[in-house]
């Protein structure tokens, strides 16, 4: 299978069934907080940062952590042990590379969504659900898109365009 750019798609370019069930289970969960986890290389004078993980925390106590999958160009659901990752990076790179976690819940992008329930969200669809982006929808709030950038993940307000989303497919006869 190929995408709209003619690039070959593999299993790694799609959410797994288990990941889709996990995402569906979060509908109606109230967002309580958001933490970005950056991979930071401090080897040069100007540190280089990549948004490597995003953790969404919910009022129920559930949490979801997304990462840009190592084996694909797609978002993956994961349960990382950040202390173990930091320890491994410290040993391997002698303090020059680390994971830094930053609570971004009060940033403008997320602040409006806090306390709101996650509603059925949008995912790109090409026969199966692609894992290159995930749009989070909240009532009476702007939708937020998590997507792959050139280096790691990026997050921004969602701007609807002519993309084909799963919700569009389900609405068709």
- CA contacts within 13 A on the Cβ side of 49: 12
Mean pLDDT, range 143-159, rounded to an integer? 90
Question: Which among 4, 1, 155, 142 has a CA at the least distance from the CA of 75?
Answer: 155
2 belongs to a structural domain = no
60 belongs to a structural domain = yes
Domain that holds residue 33: 11-171
Q: Cβ(31)–Cβ(116) under 8 Å? A: yes
90 belongs to a structural domain = yes
Q: CA–CA separation, 7 vs 137, rounded Å?
A: 29
**101-105, 109-113, 118-122, 159-163: least confidently modelled range:** 159-163
Q: CA–CA separation, 107 vs 58, rounded Å?
A: 17
53 belongs to a structural domain = yes
Q: Strand 97-103 vs strand 75-78: parallel, antiparallel, or unpaired?
A: unpaired
**31-41 sheet: strands from edge to edge:** 75-78, 63-68, 48-58, 31-41, 97-103
Say what the pLDDT of residue 151 is. Answer: 84
- CA contacts within 13 A on the Cβ side of 33: 11
The count of structural domains within the chain is 1
Q: CA–CA separation, 59 vs 165, rounded Å?
A: 28
Residues in the chain: 173
pLDDT band at 169 (very low <50, low <70, confident <90, very high): very low
17 belongs to a structural domain = yes
1 belongs to a structural domain = no
Does the pLDDT at position 3 exceed 90? Answer: no
152 belongs to a structural domain = yes
3 belongs to a structural domain = no
């Amino acid at each position: 299978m190929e995408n709209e750019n003619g690039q070959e798609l593999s299993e790694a370019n799609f959410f797994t069934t288990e990941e889709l069930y996990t995402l569906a289970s979060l509908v109606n969960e109230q967002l309580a907080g958001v933490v970005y986890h950056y991979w930071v290389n401090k080897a040069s004078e100007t540190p280089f940062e990549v948004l490597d993980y995003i953790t969404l925390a919910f009022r129920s106590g559930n949490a979801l952590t997304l990462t840009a999958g190592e084996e694909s160009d797609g978002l993956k659901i994961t349960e990382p042990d950040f202390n173990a990752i930091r320890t491994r990076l410290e040993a391997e790179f002698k303090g020059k590379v680390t994971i830094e976690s930053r609570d971004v819940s009060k940033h403008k992008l997320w602040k409006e969504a806090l306390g709101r329930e996650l509603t059925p969200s949008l995912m790109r669809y090409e026969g199966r659900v692609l894992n290159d982006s995930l749009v989070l929808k909240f009532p009476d709030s702007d939708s937020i898109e998590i997507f792959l950038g050139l280096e790691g993940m990026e997050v921004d307000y969602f701007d609807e365009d002519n993309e084909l989303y799963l919700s569009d497919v389900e609405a068709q006869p």
